């Protein structure tokens, strides 16, 4: 196998960590006089790809072929453009915010904001678990060394430099990471092309050029899963709010979209190459998630070393963004920025302990992503209805009931589909994965958003009925559907007055 020696592997890993530590702390020292607000969000100044992509994208390629690679790459990249479209709307409605939950509090009230904050923190927790689990599996597969020390060192290093420099550090590490990843992907692509022989008979026998039922299902599943889940990732919103202007935001998301599309397509194609070169499934047969690493067996040791640097860089840059996003979300949403930031940091460090424990036990990275995808698919559609000024009567009560109802609908669908309540509950965890040879995963991702909307409108009817009856009993006018009052505000700069919508009822939960 193309595997660096024990000494070389340790040198590569810890020198990469050392570079991130020196870079992060150095920048943090230069920014030591920044305010707390800048520490948390960097508003008015300036997509994380983690090590998990080396498992999930090649695995999908071995199952749904070219069709799956293209759909997965597009579904992961194109949502960046939606941030460019929706970001300016939310920024105008909540100019002082820097995460989605701030707009939610302003629009729907505290209860809905706390609900979304809880879902956001759960999603960040799951992503941190997936990132560390992927790092551990990559290190074990490529080097054979114990992954626990590597995981712990990454947690310690990212905690040090993000604690000193705040979210600006993760911006800058992402820039360094992006340039390095592009270069390394190019090197790896050239090497695979030069050193790997494609067997034409395997292309036909693999059937990976043919469309499949799952491939067509993914046309719906993946855009819904990826787009709604991106809403839960605070690091996306921190970057959205921190853009200097809408034009800068569009430029940023466009560049990110093209970069992500190219990288993920190349990574996904390694699954195809592994199958067509005979590296996968191997003897004995291996899981599709290992296709990328089975391909590495046929490459020189120095290429494996480069891939190892790429993996550590990907994981470190992604993990520091998730860590900073959790600090920002907890500080802003739960404590309204009134608690000392070091207490928040301490809480996040404590949370990292169970993250490491779960990561060491987690075997399916894709399943972790899918669980968070279902949560977001149930919540985000009912939340986004509030972006329309025409739906001024939509309240936080509908958002919370709709989100929870969407999750319940997945259970109901699963119980009916399988004829078993236990299997219906297991569908919430997608224990059969995305690639079950049936309609269960597709049905779950239909049930979550549409069930959430149905429950939301049911909650709307219940609330309006209650308020109507209460008004009649008290002999008061029923005003639940009144339009908000119109006022005029003046900005601090010399610009014309702008008409905005306000109301004494705006932002209430009920």
**pTM flag (> 0.85):** no
pLDDT of residue 256: 82
Contact present, 253 and 84 (Cβ < 8 Å): yes
pLDDT of residue 44: 36
Contact present, 128 and 3 (Cβ < 8 Å): no
Among 338, 337, 453, smallest CA distance to 406 is for 453
Among 234, 432, 415, smallest CA distance to 333 is for 234
Mapped onto helix, strand or coil, the DSSP state of residue 52 is coil
**pLDDT in tens for each of the 510 residues of the chain?**
467 888 989 999 999 999 889 988 887 777 655 554 554 444 333 345 666 787 888 888 998 899 999 998 998 888 888 878 887 887 787 776 666 788 888 889 999 999 999 988 888 898 899 889 988 888 888 888 999 999 999 999 999 988 887 666 776 777 766 666 676 677 777 777 887 888 888 998 988 999 888 888 988 998 898 888 888 766 567 667 777 788 888 888 888 888 889 888 988 998 999 999 988 888 777 778 888 888 877 778 887 888 888 888 888 988 988 888 888 888 878 887 788 888 888 999 999 999 999 998 887 777 788 888 899 999 999 999 998 888 999 999 999 999 999 999 999 999 999 999 988 888 888 877 776 678 899 999 999 999 999 999 999 999 999 999 999 999 988 888 888 664 444 343 333 434 444 444 545 777
Q: How far is CA 234 from CA 31, 169, 226, 358, 392, in A?
A: 22, 15, 14, 22, 25
Among 142, 157, 111, smallest CA distance to 15 is for 157
pLDDT of residue 46: 36
Mapped onto helix, strand or coil, the DSSP state of residue 433 is coil
Instruction: In the chain, list all ranges with CATH 1.20.1730.10.
Output: 6-361
Burial class (CB in 10 A: 0-12, 13-18, 19+), 10: middle
Among 271, 347, 338, smallest CA distance to 67 is for 271
CATH code of the domain occupying 6-361: 1.20.1730.10
How far apart, in whole angstroms, are the C-alpha atoms of residue 56 and residue 367? 10
Contact present, 103 and 384 (Cβ < 8 Å): no
pLDDT of residue 125: 92
Angle at the Cα of 292 from the Cα atoms of 80 and 439, rounded to 5 degrees = 65
How far apart, in whole angstroms, are the C-alpha atoms of residue 165 and residue 324? 10
pLDDT of residue 491: 40
pLDDT of residue 235: 58
Contact present, 424 and 411 (Cβ < 8 Å): yes
Contact present, 161 and 320 (Cβ < 8 Å): yes
Among 177, 353, 198, 167, smallest CA distance to 270 is for 198
Mapped onto helix, strand or coil, the DSSP state of residue 119 is helix
Residue 349: both structure tokens together: 């460090």
How far apart, in whole angstroms, are the C-alpha atoms of residue 429 and residue 248? 39
Residue 208: both structure tokens together: 């990976």
């Amino acid at each position: 196998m193309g595997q660096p020696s024990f000494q070389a592997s340790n040198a590569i890993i810890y020198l990469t960590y050392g570079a991130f530590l020196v870079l992060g702390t150095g920048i943090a020292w230069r920014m030591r006089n920044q305010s707390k607000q800048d520490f948390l969000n960097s508003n008015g100044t300036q997509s994380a790809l983690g090590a998990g992509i080396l498992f999930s994208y090649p695995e999908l390629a071995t199952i749904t072929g070219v069709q799956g690679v293209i759909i997965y790459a597009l579904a992961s990249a194109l949502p960046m453009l939606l941030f460019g479209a929706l970001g300016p709307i939310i920024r105008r409605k909540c100019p002082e915010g820097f995460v989605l939950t701030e707009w939610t509090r302003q629009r729907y009230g505290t209860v809905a904001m706390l609900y979304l904050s809880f879902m956001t923190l759960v999603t960040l927790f799951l992503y941190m678990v997936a990132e560390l689990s992927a790092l551990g599996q990559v290190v074990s597969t490529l080097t054979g060394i114990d992954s626990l020390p590597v995981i712990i060192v990454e947690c310690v290093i990212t905690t040090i430099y993000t604690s000193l420099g705040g979210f600006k550090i993760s911006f800058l590490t992402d820039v360094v990471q992006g340039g390095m990843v592009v270069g390394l992907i190019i090197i790896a692509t050239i090497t695979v092309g030069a050193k790997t022989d494609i067997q034409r008979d395997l292309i036909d026998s693999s059937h990976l050029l043919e469309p499949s039922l799952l491939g067509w299902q993914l046309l719906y599943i993946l855009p819904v899963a990826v787009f709604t889940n991106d809403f839960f990732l605070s690091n996306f919103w921190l970057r959205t709010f921190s853009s200097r202007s809408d034009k800068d935001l569009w430029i940023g998301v466009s560049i990110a979209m093209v970069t992500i599309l190219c990288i993920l397509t190349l990574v996904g194609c390694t699954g195809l190459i592994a199958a067509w070169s005979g590296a996968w499934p191997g003897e004995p047969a291996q899981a599709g998630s290992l296709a990328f690493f089975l391909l590495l067996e046929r490459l020189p040791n120095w290429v494996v070393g480069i891939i190892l640097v790429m993996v550590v860089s990907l994981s470190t840059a992604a993990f520091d963004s998730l860590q900073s996003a959790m600090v920002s979300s907890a500080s802003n949403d739960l404590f309204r920025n009134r608690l000392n930031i070091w207490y928040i940091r301490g809480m996040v460090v404590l949370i990292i302990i169970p993250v490491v424990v779960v990561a060491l036990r987690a075997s399916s990275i894709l399943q972790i992503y899918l669980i968070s995808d279902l949560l977001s698919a149930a919540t985000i559609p009912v939340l986004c209805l509030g972006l329309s000024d025409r739906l001024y009567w939509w309240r936080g009560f509908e958002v919370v009931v709709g989100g929870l109802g969407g999750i319940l609908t997945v259970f109901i669908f699963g119980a009916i589909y399988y004829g078993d309540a236990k299997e219906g509950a297991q569908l919430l965890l997608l224990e059969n994965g995305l690639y079950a040879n049936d309609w269960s995963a597709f049905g779950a991702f239909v049930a979550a958003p549409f069930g959430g909307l149905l429950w939301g409108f049911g909650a709307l009817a219940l609330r309006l009925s209650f308020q109507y009856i209460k008004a009649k009993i008290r002999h008061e006018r029923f005003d639940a559907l009144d339009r908000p009052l119109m006022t005029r505000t003046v900005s601090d700069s010399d610009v014309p007055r702008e008409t905005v919508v306000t109301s004494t009822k705006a932002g209430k939960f009920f």
